[in-house]
């Protein structure tokens, strides 16, 4: 009797390729675990990231491994799934083939769940001065810039220049911007309050800029107003109806006002990657893909879209780019593939809104669940519970609970280490099998690099 090795299936099993290991891609892969298919999940990173808590890595509240888990580990018991770490260069729809770095892969079904990236509204040069927050590498860069600003202020003798170092500007009044602004205010006002001798961190200035009329525009007007009140209670300057006209390494321009600052964080717009152009189908202004009711594009039907890339309205409103949508759409795309294999009709996708939450600071948050609205400590406790429950691994949940409990009792943040990447850590060595560069390792610091965008190795 022969024993089937893990990952082996009969050759005739249809091949499902999933692009993206985020909430949508992972949900799709898990929903196909009992189906007679071969699954290849491709992501440029080796880990699944719990992005709703990424701002806590940027604000030194959590370490990167607390909100990330290797994708291979999450799918290690799923025999019909394999994981490739690679960058997708092109999708050949006609040939049903995905081109990667140095290799390619054919598919019978393709689920595109690559998510969104930052949009600087035609000012791409701003990215050099105002990093966004989508990856662990970016979170570590934001954290480093913030902590270095306080260190530079300690050495600065000129009051005006010290003021610039301790002025933090967050652009974008959505959940990420609001949560990050609140975290920076608490770091300055509590965590670092007694750590410096030449200046008082409590004098730091935090400015939150939103081009629209109010912060948290996806929430009700009442919750938006309460969120602004809580932000201002923390000493944050909230500027609404104020689009940024220009910015540089040491300033942000709002109309005729120039804010001198050395730390700018971008949390404003998003756009789809250029990869979506390969699909040659209708998109919206941000590059999101117009989908049919079953989440497919008009032609061909074996190509389905999941997650933030979906451009679709429900009840007269566009579907939101949140984790709930990603999980539900990824699962539904897999369900329709199963329907095809069973020669049954596909089902239309219907998004179920389970509510929205945003935390601002200790005992400060807003939550909207259906018609119910919560603010203050109740909303904050709800936010904590929901985010702990949705963390992928039990080990991560325990670690996050411990870190949050310690921070609540002591006002301290346990990840205030500035990470310096060696100048030569980004050198790319000759390609390994499959077209990927061979990772280099700095034995002194434990860095594993894949090209220029290297980040500390996650253990």
Ordered by where they begin, the domains of the chain are 15-44+86-115+273-341 (3.50.50.60), 124-269+355-410 (3.50.50.100)
205 φψ region: left (φ > 0), alpha (ψ -120 to 50), beta (else): beta
In the predicted structure, residue 343 carries a pLDDT above the cut 70: yes
CA-wise closest residue to 325 among 125, 116, 89, 15: 116
In the predicted structure, residue 459 carries a pLDDT above the cut 50: no
Q: What pTM was estimated for this model as a whole?
A: 0.85
In the predicted structure, residue 361 carries a pLDDT above the cut 50: yes
**Between these two residues, 102 and 435, which has the higher pLDDT value?**
102
The region of weakest confidence among 217-221, 307-311, 331-335, 412-416 is 412-416
Over residues 84-107, mean pLDDT: 95
In the predicted structure, residue 354 carries a pLDDT above the cut 80: yes
Q: How confident is the model at residue 61 (pLDDT cuts 50, 70, 90)?
A: confident
Q: What percent of the chain is modeled with pLDDT above 70? A: 88
In the predicted structure, residue 11 carries a pLDDT above the cut 70: no
Over residues 113-127, mean pLDDT: 93
In the predicted structure, residue 172 carries a pLDDT above the cut 80: yes
Q: What percent of the chain is modeled with pLDDT above 90? A: 73
- Of 179, 186, 302, 403, the active-site residue reads 179
How confident is the model over 428-451, as pLDDT tens digits?
Answer: 333 333 333 333 333 322 323 323
Over residues 148-163, mean pLDDT: 96
Q: What is the pLDDT, as a whole number, of residue 404?
A: 81
Q: What is the pLDDT, as a whole number, of residue 421?
A: 53
In the predicted structure, residue 8 carries a pLDDT above the cut 60: no
Over residues 177-187, mean pLDDT: 95
Q: Is the dihedral of CA 5, 10, 11, 15 positive or negative?
A: negative
Over residues 217-234, mean pLDDT: 96
The sheet that has 440-442: what strands, in order across it?
440-442, 447-449, 455-456
Over residues 112-130, mean pLDDT: 93
**Between these two residues, 31 and 362, which has the higher pLDDT value?**
31
Q: How confident is the model at residue 382 (pLDDT cuts 50, 70, 90)?
A: very high
Q: What is the pLDDT, as a whole number, of residue 432?
A: 35
Q: What is the pLDDT, as a whole number, of residue 431?
A: 37
In the predicted structure, residue 16 carries a pLDDT above the cut 90: yes
Q: What is the pLDDT, as a whole number, of residue 3?
A: 38
Instruction: Determine whether 302 is an active site residue.
Output: no
Q: Report how far apart, in Å, the C-alpha atoms of 422 and of each of 12, 136, 142, 151, 201 are.
A: 48, 18, 17, 20, 29
Average pLDDT, the chain: 87
How confident is the model over 258-308, as pLDDT tens digits?
Answer: 999 999 999 998 999 888 889 989 999 899 999 999 999 988 999 999 999
Q: What is the pLDDT, as a whole number, of residue 39?
A: 98
Q: What is the pLDDT, as a whole number, of residue 412?
A: 76
Q: How confident is the model at residue 394 (pLDDT cuts 50, 70, 90)?
A: low
């Amino acid at each position: 009797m022969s024993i089937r090795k893990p990952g082996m299936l009969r050759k005739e099993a249809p091949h499902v390729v999933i692009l993206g290991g985020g909430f949508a891609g992972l949900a799709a892969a898990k929903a196909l675990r009992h189906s007679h298919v071969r699954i290849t999940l491709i992501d440029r990173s080796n880990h699944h990231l719990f992005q709703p808590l990424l701002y806590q890595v940027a604000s030194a509240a959590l370490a990167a491994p607390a909100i990330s888990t290797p994708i291979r580990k999450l799918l290690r018991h799923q025999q019909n799934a394999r994981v490739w770490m690679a960058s997708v260069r092109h999708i050949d729809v006609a040939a049903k083939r995905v081109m990667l770095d140095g290799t390619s892969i054919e598919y019978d079904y393709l689920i595109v769940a690559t998510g969104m990236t930052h949009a600087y509204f035609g000012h791409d040069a701003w990215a050099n001065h105002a990093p966004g927050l989508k990856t662990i590498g970016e979170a570590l860069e934001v954290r480093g810039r913030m902590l270095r600003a306080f260190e530079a202020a300690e050495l600065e003798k000129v009051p005006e220049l010290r003021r610039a170092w301790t002025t933090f500007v967050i652009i974008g009044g959505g959940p990420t911007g609001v949560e990050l602004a609140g975290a920076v205010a608490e770091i300055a006002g509590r965590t670092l309050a007694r750590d410096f001798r030449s200046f008082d961190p409590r004098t730091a200035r935090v400015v939150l800029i939103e081009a629209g009329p109010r912060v948290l525009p996806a929430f009700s007007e009442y919750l938006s107003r309460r969120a602004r009140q809580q932000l201002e209670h923390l000493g944050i300057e909230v500027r609404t109806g104020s689009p940024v006209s220009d910015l540089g390494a040491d300033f942000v321009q709002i109309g005729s006002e120039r804010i001198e600052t050395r730390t700018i964080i971008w949390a404003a717009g998003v756009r789809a990657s250029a990869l979506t152009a390969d699909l040659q189908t209708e998109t919206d202004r941000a590059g999101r893909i117009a989908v049919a009711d079953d989440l497919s594009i008009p032609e061909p039907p074996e190509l389905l879209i999941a997650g933030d890339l979906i451009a679709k309205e429900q009840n007269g409103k566009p579907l939101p780019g949140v984790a709930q949508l990603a999980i539900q759409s990824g699962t539904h795309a897999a369900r329709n593939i199963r329907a095809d294999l069973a020669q049954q009709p596909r089902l239309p996708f219907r998004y179920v809104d389970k509510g929205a939450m945003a935390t601002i600071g200790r005992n400060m948050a807003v939550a909207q669940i259906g018609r119910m609205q919560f603010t203050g400590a109740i909303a904050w406790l709800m936010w904590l519970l929901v985010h702990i429950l949705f963390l992928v691994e039990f080990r991560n949940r325990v670690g996050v609970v411990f870190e949050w409990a310690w921070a609540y009792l002591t006002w301290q943040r346990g990840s205030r280490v500035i990470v310096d990447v060696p100048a030569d850590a980004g050198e790319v060595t000759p390609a390994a099998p499959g077209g990927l560069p061979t990772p280099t390792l700095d034995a002194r610091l434990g860095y594993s690099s894949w090209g220029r965008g290297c980040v500390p190795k996650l253990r």
